[in-house]
Structure formats: structure tokens, C-alpha cells
Amino acid sequence: MTDRIAHVRLSSVVLPLADPISDAKVLTGRQRPMTEVVFLFTEIVSAAGHEGIGFSYSKRAGGPGQFAHAREIAPGLIGEDPADIGRIWTKLTWAGASVGRSGLAVQAIAAIDVALWDLKAKRAGLPLAKLLGAYRDSVRTYNTSGGFLHTPVDEVIENARSSLAAGIGGVKLKVGQPDWRQDIARVTAVREALDPDVPLMVDANQQWDRATAMRMGRLFEPFGLVWIEEPLDAYDAEGHANLARALDTPIATGEMLSSVAEHVRLIDAGAADIVQPDAPRIGGITQFLKLAAYAEHRQLEIAPHFAMEIHLHLAAAYPIEPWVEHFDWLAPLFNERLETRGGRMYVSERPGLGITLTEQARAWTVGTAEFGRRP
């Protein structure tokens, strides 16, 4: 029986971070330390009483813009069949056609798109991974939040041990210090402090030039890294491809791209051994599934960026064994927790994404907009 979207609520939520976060972009003066993350939440209710929740996010800037764009296009949702997710995505894209099909425009749509998929899975009584067709009930996971450059190396080691004790499988370290010797020293200290079988990754956050990236890549070869992430500018497909051909260590990149088309260019150039798409950044789950199909066709691994509450389900439904990034930053926003054990993150049996907003998230809300009426 055909259902209809009856009510839409948009919320702009500002999540404060306990400590200012610094990576290589801060050390090069390109960005300031990050003190908060701004989320765009969409809550959708259908005439039959089915509900869905989705989110997008912005770091440092863009949050108010995402909220403003979503507020402009959201009225077009009322009266639509929530099952027609692909058609709705196209409708919303055309509603904002003058601002393009990437970046902020599709990130605003992403929060809506994710909510529609959450609603669809809940209506089916299935976790989203099961609705999509899961290949596994758990995914390899690694921690990033304990390895930022502002963190002293002794604390990085302690954070790594705590993550491993909590059932997380791998550890990612930020690199890109002005003095390259500090990068080598930090990675050496962590590698020597942990079991040699612990998967270790590094992330330069786009801050090396081509020559530096090649030199650093060769210096890192003896560490047996799972990957080197974003050694170059996110849009330097040729440079990344040169590294991928020259180094034994896999190259991972893609998190900063904001459309499927940009990822396809990266893949076609041979620029990534491991693709790191971010569903909220490229337009939601509908777009992520298109990219995942292409990445599978090219026999590439994926390691989705951030937003593990969404990406766990998408990674579980990807044929080639993936990774999911564990971040505890979002914990205050959701009542539920994701289970990690034995180096893996497990899909819960809760329908949909399996998340509900906390009262604290409601308290951090700085703007709302509502359309239609609740049934």
C-alpha cells in the first residue's frame, strides 16, 4: 500500500569537542584547530506512522549552509512516497540545480536520503545492512581519534592500547609534521609499543607535495602499514596514481570528495588502492551505493570515512572485506552504542540504522524547521 511523507523536521546541532583537534592542516596554517562539529539531522514521519532519521555534518564551516539549503528543498518531500528514494533524490537535486550536484548541496540532501533509507529498513523490520543485502555481520574496524598530532606520543600509545582493549582492531596515526623526523619517530614509537600484528595506518591529510609524499612513502615501507592516507591534495589523481604504482604500501584516499563523479575520476586514474567514500559528503546512501558498485567492479577495497553509525551498514553490504573508522566523538548524540570485539564492529539487530537522538543532542540544537504535520 502506498504511503506518503507527512512530516519533516530539520535540526542543526552543534557538537562541542572536549579538546581542540589538530592534524597536519593545522600545522601548515591552512586550518584552525577543530572545536566542534555541526550536524544536520532530518527526521521524517509517514502518514502510516513510519519514522526515519538521517544526518549529515560539517567540520569548521558549512553547517549553517547545509541547514539553509535543506530548509529550502525540504517542502518538496511532503506527499511523496518515502519508498521512492532514488526519484526523491533526483527531485531534490533539481530543486537546487543552480548550486550544482556536489558539495554543500548534496550534503544537505544526504541527511534526507539517509533518513529515507532508515525509514525503509525500519518499515521492513530489518537493520539497514540486512535490507541492502549483508555479506557479513561485522566489519574490521580501526581507531583514529586517539592519534591526532596535538596528542603527545605517550598518550597516543595509551589511547591505542585502550582502543585495542575495547575490541577495536587497528590504529591510525596522523602524520605530516613540519619536521618529517617527528613523523618517523612517532610511528616508530607506536609500532614498537604494540604487538607487531596490530594493523597500523597513517594519514597525512593532504599536506605533502609529490616529492615529499614519495620520500615519506618509501620511509614508511618497513612499517608494514595497512595504508598511507591522503598523502596529496584530494584532487591530485595523477599524483596519487604515481604513488600507488611506486609503493608497496597501499594508498587510501577519497574522504574529501563530494560527489560520485569525483570518485570515479580518482578510480579511473588508478589513484587509490583503498577508496574512502563518505556517504554524508557525497549525497547519502543512494549515491554511496552507486559508487560502491563501481568500486566493486574495479575490485577495490573501501574504508568509509567517519559516521560509523551509517557506514557500518554500508560496509557490511560491500562484497570485498572493508574497514570502518571508529570515532567516539558522536557518542553524546545517540542513545545506542556500537559493539566492538575481536577487532571488528558488529551490526546490531535494531531496525534501520539503529540510532535515536539523546536529550543532550536536543539541547545542542541551534535551529529547527518543520514541514507538514505529524499523523
pLDDT number for residue 149: 81
DSSP state of 340: E
Domain positions in the chain are 5-125+358-372, 129-346
Contact 306, 278 (CB under 8 A): yes
Whether 120 is a known active-site residue: answer: no
d(Cα 308, Cα 145) in Å, to the nearest integer? 13
pLDDT number for residue 136: 98
3-class secondary-structure state, position 94? helix
pLDDT number for residue 284: 98
Query: Strand (E) positions, 5-135?
Result: 5-21, 34-46, 51-59
Q: Which three cell numbers stand for residue 196?
A: 607487531
Whether 297 is a known active-site residue: answer: no
Binding-site positions for substrate read 23-25, 59-60, 172, 205, 325
Residue with cell 597536519: 24
Determine whether domain 5-125+358-372 maps to CATH 3.40.50.300: no
What whole-number percentage of the chain has pLDDT above 90? 86
Beta strands 200-203; 251-253: pairing state? unpaired
Q: Which of 50, 263, 305, 313 is catalytic?
A: 305
Binding-site positions for Mg(2+) read 203, 229, 255
pLDDT number for residue 34: 75
Rounded to two decimals, the pTM is: 0.95
- Bridge partners (DSSP) listed for residue 21: 34
Q: Which of 7, 69, 120, 174 is catalytic?
A: 174
Query: How do residues 315-331 score in pLDDT, each as one tens digit?
Result: 999 999 999 999 888 99
Where the chain has pLDDT below 50, the residues are none
Residue environment code for 10-46, b if the CB has 16+ CB neighbours within 10 A, otherwise e: bbbbebeeeeebbbbbbbeeebeebebbbbbbbbbbb
Contact 314, 285 (CB under 8 A): yes
Q: How is domain 129-346 classified at the CATH fold level? A: TIM Barrel (3.20.20)
Q: Which three cell numbers stand for residue 167?
A: 575490541
